[in-house]
Amino acid sequence: MSPLIENGNVRTGIFSKPITLVRPSDFVLRKPLGKIRGALAKRFAYKQFHYMGGISDSLVFGTAIVDLRYLSTVFYYVYDLKTGREFRNTWRKPLSSNVSFSEDPESGSVVYGSGKNFARVHIENGKRILEVVAAGKQIIYAAFPDSEPDVQPLRICTRAGYTGWVYVRKTGGVPLSGIVDCELGKFNVKDCLGHTDYSVGYMRPETWWNWAFASGKVGGKNFAMNVSCGVNETSYTENCYWLDGKLQSLPQAKFDFDAENPMGPWNISSSMNDDFSLNFTSRGVHKEHVNAGKIASRFSQMYGSFSGIISLNGKKVSAKDLLGFTEDHYAKW
């Protein structure tokens, strides 16, 4: 049995110990009025994605492997901040026959493969390795420190809708090693700080979220902050920060921005007290808009810089020009 699921029911909460098996077959998925859903409906209701990215003063890159059951998708992008040039690509395949997600979030692999194109995440010597190969050429190879003592992962499971749930494993603010090699040039990622997001579960069939992630040096230490609104906040919240890999929780967040102009200014602040208030200035955007009947997505992920105030270990700290991302996402799946 999965340590996340007992007697057909999911355990919710924030977990300090590793969850080494997330097996959807152990969960009894019901309709809102109590009827158990059939095997086919249960399969297509389960969604999985793994996102990994890095950012420095000169480079931004990211990759997502997504399994929606009806469709599998990989997108990857590279921005050269010195020249303002960007490189991006998206692969899609119907029915997710070419994507594989391990049920072990701690040590398993996630793979998308189609001919000479593939993206893979696997664990090697305590690091989470991201590889992207396009037309037989390696575009991204990056190693992310992935567990204690380098970093304390956030592990959280929350209810999603009336009968579903989402399990999320995240890390942030970790120093990277590796190479990005694309038509923009060849880049060493040693100056980048990285972040990972492994999310699986019976997500709401129609959902939305805003997300912000900031990273950089604060007081000479590696810092990363992760906050969201709209998902993963039923009784618990994924909002947190890492300081030299040590995990600390944050309260709920509110996002002020113009959804019709997501490249405009953003303010992300604590909705309960004055733990943080950060202004975000965009420098670029990755967009994915899909309208395919049963599947629809309006996705904008901006990269840029944050400045403002955040409380670290009870002490107010001025943050200036922290690099990171904001995201506005509507999804029907």
**Percent over 70 (pLDDT), the chain:** 100
Q: Is 318 exposed, middle or buried, given 0-12, 13-18 or 19+ CB atoms closer than 10 A?
A: exposed
Of the candidates 239, 106, 229, which has an alpha carbon nearest to the alpha carbon of residue 172? 239
Taking only the tens place, the pLDDT of each residue in 64-80 is 999 999 899 999 999 99
The C-alpha atoms of residue 152 and residue 221 are separated, in whole angstroms, by 15
Domain edges within the chain: 10-17+27-332
Written as six digits, the tokens of 326 are 């904001």
Both tokens of 28, joined, read 């009894």
Q: What is the mean pLDDT of residues 223-229?
A: 96
pLDDT in tens, 153-179: 999 999 999 999 999 999 999 999 999
What pLDDT, on a 0 to 100 scale, did the predictor assign at position 29? Answer: 98
pLDDT higher than 80, residue 314 = yes
User: What's the rounded Cα separation, in Å, for the pair 112 and 117?
Assistant: 8
Q: Cα separation of 112 and 99, whole Å?
A: 4
Read off the pLDDT of residues 183-223 as tens digits, 9 standing for 90 and up.
999 999 999 999 999 999 999 999 999 999 999 988 889 99
Q: CA-CA-CA-CA torsion for 56, 57, 59, 60, nearest 10 degrees?
A: 60
At 219 the pLDDT is 84
- The answer to whether residues 167 and 199 touch, using CB atoms and an 8 Å cutoff, is yes
**For all residues of the chain together, what is the average pLDDT?**
94
What is the length of the chain?
Answer: 333
Give, for 185, the enclosing helix (H) or strand (E): strand 185-188
Distance CA 28, CA 37 (A): 8
Res 31 pLDDT > 70: yes
Q: For residues 252 and 275, is the Cβ–Cβ distance under 8 A? A: no
CB half-sphere exposure, 263, CA atoms < 13 A: 5
Q: So what's the pLDDT on residue 271?
A: 86
Over residues 249-269, the pLDDT tens digits come to 999 999 999 999 999 999 999
- State yes or no: cis peptide before 149, omega within 30 of 0: yes
The two three-digit tokens of residue 235, written as one number: 């009784």
- Rounded to two decimals, the pTM is 0.94
Predicted confidence (pLDDT) per residue in 273-302, tens digit: 889 999 999 998 888 888 887 788 999 999
For the cut 80, the answer to whether the pLDDT of residue 1 exceeds it is no
Q: 168 to each of 4, 80, 223, how far by Cα in Å?
A: 12, 30, 20
Structure confidence by residue, pLDDT tens digits, 93-132 = 999 989 999 999 999 999 999 889 999 999 999 999 999 9
Of the chain, the percentage scoring pLDDT greater than 90 comes to 87
For residue 218 the two structure tokens come to 């604060």
Rounded Cα distance between 69 and 46, Å, is: 7
Q: Locate 14 and state its tokens.
A: 């924030």
